Amino acid sequence: MKKLITLALVFMFALPIALSAETLASLKADADAATKAALAAPTSYEANWKAAKAWRLYGDKAVSDKVSGYKEIAEKSGQEGLKFGEIAQKINPNGVEGWYYYGLCVGTYSDGVSIITAIRKGFKGKTQKAFETAYSLNKMYDDCGPILSLGRFWQVLPGIAGRDRDKAEKLFNEYIKLMASNKDINMDVYYYRGELYKDLGKKAEAKADLTKAAAAGNKEAKALLAEL
């Protein structure tokens, strides 16, 4: 899960999935094919969570590349992914994939309609449940994706919606402890935690983390460093 979220939020929450050299067109073709497979096998857990993942990848790519009409693509992709993720949850509530990709698809949807709109539509509670369930079922899934996603969720929630920086920090620390020596660590975690430390007034800690993230190519981290 090297490239996490661009989620304006994420709702941000969640976090992105690793994007390869796939083109937007090929990812759309993958999503369409995954949809056909899921519709042909409506009781297949695997077919449905893979359809949710495919729509997430397509929507996230559109947002990441800021292609023309990316907000509309994100909204539609998120809606499609949510649909299949929810089906997967119902088929196999003990499977981590259905919950995890559902949560990530909320992030994609939110990139299209805004965090506030997503919250008004009731996705705050649904996303929290999805990521907390994924965490409890298999927090190591997708290179500890549920840990990082849940941490980002608590960090970027609007204050009025229940932001919890203490929970976010604990989850980021847990992620780093488990992934620090793993080549697949998502270096954006240092941007997330650095941003958190900056908000908490911990300048030295923020600078250390943001420097790591900036060195890994995170442009947002570079911008925050300039403010310290």
3-state secondary structure of 157: coil
**Whole-prediction pTM value?**
0.89
- Nearest CA to 163 out of 119, 101, 194, 114 is that of 119
Tens-digit pLDDT string for the chain (228 aa): 544 443 434 444 444 444 445 899 999 999 999 999 999 999 999 999 999 999 999 999 999 899 999 999 999 999 999 999 999 999 999 999 999 999 999 999 999 998 888 888 889 999 999 999 999 999 999 999 999 999 999 998 999 899 999 999 999 999 999 999 999 999 999 999 999 999 999 999 999 999 999 999 999 999 999 998
- The pLDDT, as a whole number, for residue 13 is 46
What the block records as the tokens of 183 is 């080549």
- The pLDDT, as a whole number, for residue 1 is 54
Contacts of 15 (CB under 8 A, 6+ apart): 1, 4, 5, 7, 104, 107, 145, 148, 149, 152, 186, 188
- Nearest CA to 130 out of 44, 49, 72, 187 is that of 49
Q: What is the dihedral angle through the alpha carbons of 44, 50, 53, 54, rounded to the nearest 10 degrees? A: -120
- Nearest CA to 210 out of 201, 200, 8, 220 is that of 220
